[in-house]
């Protein structure tokens, strides 16, 4: 069965891990707060901007007939690492492309610090891990003030490496990514890709959660009508009260994880409608209003829905797509000789490319998802009212994993 996803995520190289309560953090690990931080009104406004940014990047990465999984949060955290080392027009473009131009760098950093703290404490039954890192050539000067800010706000560790041995650097960075995603992302930097250095900024994210509703044990084998034709798939089913909404040409379903703070949102176009049309609808004001109407903070779980969802798995790697998207969205300077990262180093730097690799698996027990983002920097020179509503995802659909209290989209994708 062919699938397609869009995913959103954030991660950083020190490690944030949540799996129950454990404040005996190892060196370099994020200390889990005693309770989930409550975001201020200003920080919720930043969340809404980051949500819009993730949807916009996803819409540009999306291609018909292609499976995709993308983590907007992982990208946003990686860009925050860039922004905290940027000055002038470079910093302005990085902030503006994310809709954060009215916030100071310190406010943006504090926002992500609060969001990560919230994500780690929102549900003790959800396993979430996040890590950030700076990889600099052993001969390249990184400003201590930059390293200190990365450690304070993003718990990022700094590693000294030798880029003259590019194969060893690739192996070490890829092992770091594998270690922080439970081996789901073992090869973010592919063999054969030129690795010039002198700086890499990396962000990793891992998510694993059980459903908050028990699906029927018996799987059903039926066709999934994808863009490449009908192929048999295994579906898991449940008829029960769910948070559900219907808009023009689209159905939305929220499937809760564990205590409901995290949920899996499925955006299913009506028969005869396309994912392209659903994506346009999702980005509209009405679509965003519809999204906010479902889940723990939306309508009650009073609508009886007969759900039929396919098992699926997606692995997606970006090459130049994120770079091209950010350029077109209004941040071209970061990829040019005019880039100013003087907050990071006294040497002139520009971003050569931004890679992301993402993984997502969904079945009757829950979901597992992971993403690693690498910023590569170089020196410049219908029915009866009493009947359950049928929600049969046997045709292409969009989806997302989100934390409802902060509107943080961890992953977004499409299965086709």
pLDDT digits (tens, 9 = 90+) for 188-232: 999 989 898 999 999 999 999 999 999 999 999 999 999 889 999
Contacts of 81 (CB under 8 A, 6+ apart): 12, 132, 134, 150, 154, 156, 201, 203, 375
Count how many domains the chain has.
2
Give pLDDT tens digits for 301-314: 678 999 999 999 99
Same domain (yes/no): 345, 411: no
Average pLDDT, the chain: 88
Is residue 215, in this structure, part of any structural domain at all?
Answer: no
Instruction: Indicate whether 329 and 255 sit together in one domain.
Output: no
Can you give the pLDDT at residue 16? Answer: 38
- Residues 202, 249 within the same domain: no
At 34 the pLDDT is: 59
In a domain, 8, yes or no: no
Domain range for 288 is: 220-310+383-415
Read out DSSP for 116-128?
HHHHHHS-TTSEE
Residue 4 lies in a domain: no
Mean pLDDT of 8-27: 36
Q: Which residue has the higher pLDDT, 79 or 261?
A: 79
Q: Are residues 230 and 159 in the same domain?
A: no
- Do 132 and 240 lie in one domain? The reply is no
| Residue 366 falls inside a structural domain | yes
Neighbours of 379 (CB within 10 A): 16
Q: Cβ distance 395 to 39 under 8 Å?
A: no
Q: Hey, which residues does 371 pair with through a beta bridge?
A: 205, 358
| 6 located within any domain | no
Are residues 144 and 201 both part of a single domain? yes
User: 236 or 41, which is more confident?
Assistant: 236
What pLDDT, on a 0 to 100 scale, did the predictor assign at position 297?
A: 60
381 sits in which H/E element: none
Q: Per the domain annotation, does 153 fall within a domain?
A: yes
Q: What is the CATH number of the domain that holds 392?
A: 2.30.39.10
Q: How far is it, in rounded angstroms, from Cα 181 to Cα 185?
A: 6
Q: Does pLDDT of 118 surpass 60? A: yes
* Contact by Cβ (8 Å): 14, 157: yes
CB burial of residue 217 (10 Å; 0-12, 13-18, 19+)? exposed
Q: Is the pLDDT of residue 177 over 70?
A: yes
Residue 84 sits in the same domain as residue 121: yes
pLDDT of residue 1: 33
When pLDDT is cut at 50, 70 and 90, the band that residue 390 belongs to is confident
- 10 found inside a domain: no
Q: Is residue 203 assigned to a domain?
A: yes
Integer angstrom CA distances of residue 305 from 79, 88, 223, 254, 280 = 40, 52, 20, 11, 25
pTM exceeds 0.75, yes or no: yes
pLDDT of residue 405: 82
pLDDT at 293: 86
Domain match, 226 and 171 both = no
| Residue 100, domain CATH | 3.30.497.10
């Amino acid at each position: 069965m062919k699938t397609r996803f869009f995913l959103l995520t954030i991660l950083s190289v020190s490690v944030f891990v949540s799996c129950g309560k454990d404040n005996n953090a190892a060196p370099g690990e994020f200390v889990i707060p005693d309770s989930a931080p409550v975001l201020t009104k200003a920080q919720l406004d930043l969340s809404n901007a980051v949500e819009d940014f993730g949807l916009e990047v996803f819409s540009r990465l999306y291609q018909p007939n292609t499976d995709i999984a993308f983590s907007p949060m992982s990208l946003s955290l990686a860009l925050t690492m860039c922004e905290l080392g940027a000055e002038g027009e470079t910093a302005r473009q990085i902030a503006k492309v994310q809709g954060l131009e009215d916030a100071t760098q310190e406010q943006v950093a504090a926002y992500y610090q609060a969001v990560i703290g919230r994500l780690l404490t929102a549900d003790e039954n959800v396993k979430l891990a996040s890590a950030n890192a700076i990889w600099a050539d052993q001969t390249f000067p990184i400003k201590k003030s930059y390293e200190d800010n990365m450690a304070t706000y993003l718990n990022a560790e700094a590693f000294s490496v030798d880029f003259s041995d590019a194969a060893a650097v690739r192996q070490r960075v890829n092992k770091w990514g594998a270690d922080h995603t439970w081996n789901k992302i073992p090869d973010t930097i592919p063999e054969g890709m030129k690795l010039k250095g002198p700086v890499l900024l990396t962000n990793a994210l891992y998510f694993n959660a059980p459903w908050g509703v028990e699906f029927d044990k018996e799987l059903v084998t039926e066709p999934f009508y994808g863009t490449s034709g009908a192929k048999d798939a295994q579906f898991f089913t449940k008829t029960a009260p769910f948070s559900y909404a219907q808009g023009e040409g689209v159905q939305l379903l929220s499937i809760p994880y564990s205590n409901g703070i995290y949920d899996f949102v499925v955006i299913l176009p009506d028969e005869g409608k396309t994912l392209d049309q659903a994506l346009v609808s999702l980005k509209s004001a009405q679509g965003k209003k519809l999204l906010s109407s479902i889940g723990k903070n939306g309508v009650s779980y009073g609508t009886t829905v007969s759900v039929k969802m396919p098992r699926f798995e997606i692995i997606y790697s970006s090459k130049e797509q994120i770079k091209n998207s950010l350029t077109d969205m209004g941040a071209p300077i970061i990829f040019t000789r005019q880039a100013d990262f003087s907050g990071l180093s006294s040497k002139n730097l520009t971003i050569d490319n931004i890679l992301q690799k993402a993984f997502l698996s969904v079945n009757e027990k829950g979901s597992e998802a992971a993403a690693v983002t690498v910023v590569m920097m170089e020196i410049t020179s219908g029915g009866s009212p009493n009947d359950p509503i049928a929600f049969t995802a046997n045709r292409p659909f969009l989806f997302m994993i989100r934390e409802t209290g902060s509107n943080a989209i961890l992953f977004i994708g499409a299965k086709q």
